[in-house]
Amino acid sequence: MNKQLVTKDNSLIGASYSLGVVEQRLIFLAIIEAREQKTLIEAGGLLRIYAQSYAKQFDVEKHTSYEAMKRAVEGLYEAGFAYSKLDERSGKIGHYKSRWVDKIGYIDDLGCVELVFASDVIPLITRLETRYTEYELKQVVGLQSEYAIRLYELIIQWRSVGKTNLISLEELREKLGLVDEYKRIEAFKRRVLDLAVRQINEHTDITVEYEQHKQGRVITGFTFKFKVKLKSKKAVALNGENDKTDLLSSLKMTAKQRISFASQLSQMGELSSYAKQGEDYKEFATRIESELLDESRQAFYMPYLDKLGFQPS
């Protein structure tokens, strides 16, 4: 079965918006559909999300799925997001607001929702060349909190280093779409942050913890550290899986292979956002070569090595 990949420009990953769980799930499924029908989406065509597909992906009843999707139509039509993006002509950062969809509706007899993405959204999900984040849909399937989904996305774009930069409390609230909700820090941590971290640790491929930063006695921001979970060979065998990421303990490379694959990895568009500022391809390749010797970093590179045809021994 092909992996269902959610891919977003980092401008969209870092955007500020508030969407419920079902609305976010519809966006995920529409992004996957849009990337599979690139010609259609560039022409502003309709994308259909069937209740059957939603039910299968998120393990819920088909009838329940369709009712939830219909309720989400109104909210998604009204929803917008704010984002920042580099202006290619001037080299300056622009700040923008957009709606998610130009059109959305449903067809009862077909059990589906139809939508047309807004023009600003299309290049942020289909025309991706450099700075973007990609993850498997299955990683967010078990997340029942809208804040857990958003926090996972915000964290996972730092996959190459395993730690985020300092995110101010104000910025984090904006990105999670919080305006007047949970203004007291105790409520914010209990109802938003701690709940999201618990769900991420239980249901996704990473384990995360956060550190509070204070000015005096006042919490002003957070940094998030995380590690990719490694399944044991026994667990892989019991699950009947064939996931090369889970066979990291047997990853063996000769020095020649390491140099060759590091060079290829440094040229991959999917990894360009992980190059450090001012780092050229040769310097990036050298760093990758070193990281391929580090078991804690191998989990990150394994999906990309898989694309290049590497076979773990």
Confidence of residue 80 (pLDDT cuts 50, 70, 90): very high
Residue 313 lies in a domain: no
Confidence of residue 113 (pLDDT cuts 50, 70, 90): very high
* Average pLDDT, integer, range 37-42: 62
Task: Using the 3D structure, point to which of 141, 165, 193 is the last residue of a domain.
Answer: 141
Q: Kindly state whether residues 223 and 247 are assigned to the same domain.
A: no
Q: Kindly state whether residues 136 and 158 are assigned to the same domain.
A: no
Question: Given this model, what pLDDT does residue 232 score?
Answer: 43
Mark out the alpha helices in the chain (DSSP H runs).
Answer: 10-13, 21-36, 38-42, 51-58, 62-78, 122-125, 146-156, 169-175, 185-188, 194-203, 233-239, 255-266, 281-291, 295-307
Q: Kindly state whether residues 90 and 203 are assigned to the same domain.
A: no
Residue 250 has pLDDT above 50, yes or no: no
Which DSSP state fits 131?
A: S
The structure's pTM equals 0.71
Residue 48 lies in a domain: yes
* Average pLDDT, integer, range 292-298: 73
Question: Given this model, what pLDDT does residue 258 score?
Answer: 84
* Average pLDDT, integer, range 239-250: 41
Residue 84 lies in a domain: yes
Q: Of residues 301 and 225, which shows the higher confidence score?
A: 225
Q: Of residues 253 and 285, which shows the higher confidence score?
A: 285
Task: Using the 3D structure, point to which of 229, 260, 282 is the last residue of a domain.
Answer: 229
Task: Using the 3D structure, point to which of 204, 229, 254 is the last residue of a domain.
Answer: 229
Q: Kindly state whether residues 18 and 89 are assigned to the same domain.
A: yes
Mean pLDDT score across all residues of the chain: 84
Q: Kindly state whether residues 155 and 283 are assigned to the same domain.
A: no
Give the C-alpha separation, 185 to 236, whole Å. 41
Query: What confidence tens digit (pLDDT) does each residue in 166-224 have?
Result: 999 999 999 999 988 999 999 999 999 999 999 999 999 999 999 999 999 999 999 99
As a whole-number percent, the residues of the chain with pLDDT over 70 amount to 84
Tokens 């519809």, residue located: 26
Query: What confidence tens digit (pLDDT) does each residue in 122-153 have?
Result: 888 876 555 678 888 899 999 999 999 999 99
Residue 249 lies in a domain: yes
Question: Given this model, what pLDDT does residue 130 score?
Answer: 55
Q: Kindly state whether residues 182 and 243 are assigned to the same domain.
A: no
Residue 239 has pLDDT above 50, yes or no: no
Cβ density class 28-56: b for 16+ within 10 Å, e for less? bbbbbbbeeeeeebeeeeebbbbbebbbe
Question: Given this model, what pLDDT does residue 290 score?
Answer: 81
Residue 248 has pLDDT above 70, yes or no: no
- Six-digit token pair at 125? 């999900």
Confidence of residue 277 (pLDDT cuts 50, 70, 90): low
* Average pLDDT, integer, range 7-14: 87
Full residue range of the structural domain in which residue 110 is found = 1-141
Q: Decide if 187 contacts 195 (C-beta within 8 A).
A: no
Question: Given this model, what pLDDT does residue 279 score?
Answer: 73
As a whole-number percent, the residues of the chain with pLDDT over 90 amount to 49
Q: Kindly state whether residues 241 and 267 are assigned to the same domain.
A: yes
Residue 239 lies in a domain: yes
Q: Kindly state whether residues 221 and 188 are assigned to the same domain.
A: yes
Residue 312 lies in a domain: no
Residue 279 lies in a domain: yes
Q: Kindly state whether residues 122 and 158 are assigned to the same domain.
A: no
Number of independent structural domains in the chain: 3
Q: Kindly state whether residues 105 and 181 are assigned to the same domain.
A: no
State how far the alpha carbon of 145 is from the alpha carbons of 81, 130, 132, 141, in Å.
Answer: 19, 30, 23, 11
Q: Kindly state whether residues 130 and 158 are assigned to the same domain.
A: no
Q: What is the CATH number of the domain that holds 203?
A: 1.10.10.10
Q: Kindly state whether residues 74 and 117 are assigned to the same domain.
A: yes
Question: Given this model, what pLDDT does residue 237 score?
Answer: 44
Give the C-alpha separation, 159 to 125, whole Å. 19
Query: What confidence tens digit (pLDDT) does each residue in 219-238 have?
Result: 999 999 999 887 644 444 44
Question: Given this model, what pLDDT does residue 222 score?
Answer: 97
